[in-house]
Amino acid sequence: MALSEGEIGRYARQLLLPGMGEEGQERLRAARVRVAGGGPAAAPALLYLAAAGVGTIWIDDPDAVAAGDGAGFMFGPAEVGRSRAVAAAEAIRAASGLVQADVLRPGARPTHVLVVAGTSEVSRAVAEEARLLGLPHVVADVDGQGGAVTPGAEERTTPLPRRVAATTRAAAARARGPRGWVRRARSERRAWFRAPPRSGHPAGLHRSPLRPRPRP
C-alpha cells in the first residue's frame, strides 16, 4: 500500500536518502520487530525504531520500571513500579501515531528481533531462539564501559513448522532460568552421545571431542 500524505510528510527527509525512497519506507512499515528488553539501553532504540517508521514494535520485558530507568529518557518518576513493556508501548505511541506498539503476546510473529536485554543469559537465549527461527536479529550488549552490537541470522525463506517453533520458544524460556544454560549444555551433550556413529567411528565409541582419547 502506498504511503499516505501524513507518512510522506513525516519521513520526507529520509525518503531522500539513496536507496530508500517510498519502497524502502513501505518495507519499514511492514516490519514487525520484537524488542527484547525495555530498560535504559533499550529506550533510545525503541524511540528510534518508531521515528524511522517501523510499522509494528513488540516489547518483550517482564520487569517493572525501576528508579534507575529514568536514565533512558523514556520513563519518568510516575512510571516507577509499572510494567516496562506497557509503559514503553505507551511512550512509543505518544512519540508517533504512525506506528503500532504493544506488549509481545503469544502468537505474535515478528519479522526481526532486537535484543537489548538486561543480562547476557537472556540475550543469548533470545538470540538463539531467533537464530533457530531464521529471523534476522541484532544483539546489543551494554556494560559500564561501553558495549557491542552483533548482527546475526539471515532471513529464512521457509518458516519452521509450528510445532518446532513452539519447542524452540519453550527451550529459550527455560534457558532464562538461573541454571538454564547448564541444562541446555547437558541436553546437547546427551544428544551427542545418542547420535549415530560418524563415518570412521565404530558404534559405541562416541566420545566428546573435548575429551582426550585413550592411548592404544
Q: Is residue 53 part of a domain?
A: yes
Three cell numbers, residue 5: 500524505
- Judged by DSSP in three states, 17 sits in coil
CA angle 1, 95, 85 (to 5 degrees): 95
| Structural domain contains residue 92 | yes
Count: domains in the chain: 1
Is residue 133 a part of any domain in this protein?
yes
Q: In this structure, is residue 15 part of a structural domain?
A: no
- Provide the terminal-to-terminal Cα distance of the chain, rounded to the nearest Å: 70
Query: Does 198 fall in a domain?
Result: no
pLDDT tens-digit series, residues 87-124 = 999 999 999 989 999 999 999 999 999 998 888 888 88
Which cell is 4 given? 499516505
Here the CATH number for the domain that contains residue 81 is 3.40.50.720
Instruction: Provide the pairing of β-strand 137-143 with 146-152.
Output: antiparallel
Mean pLDDT calculated for residue range 129-136: 90
Q: Could you tell me if residue 212 is inside a domain?
A: no
Give the residue numbers spanning the domain of 74.
31-161
Which three cell numbers mark 93? 505511541
Question: In whole angstroms, how far apart are CA 79 and each of 75, 82, 99, 117, 211?
Answer: 6, 6, 22, 19, 52
Handedness of CA 68, 42, 115, 37 (dihedral sign): positive
Give the model confidence (pLDDT) of 25-71 as tens digits: 999 999 999 999 888 888 889 999 999 999 999 999 998 888 887 76
User: CA angle 161-149-81, nearest 5°?
Assistant: 80
Strand partners, 34: 58, 113
Q: Does the residue 199 lie in any domain?
A: no
Domain membership flag for residue 96: yes
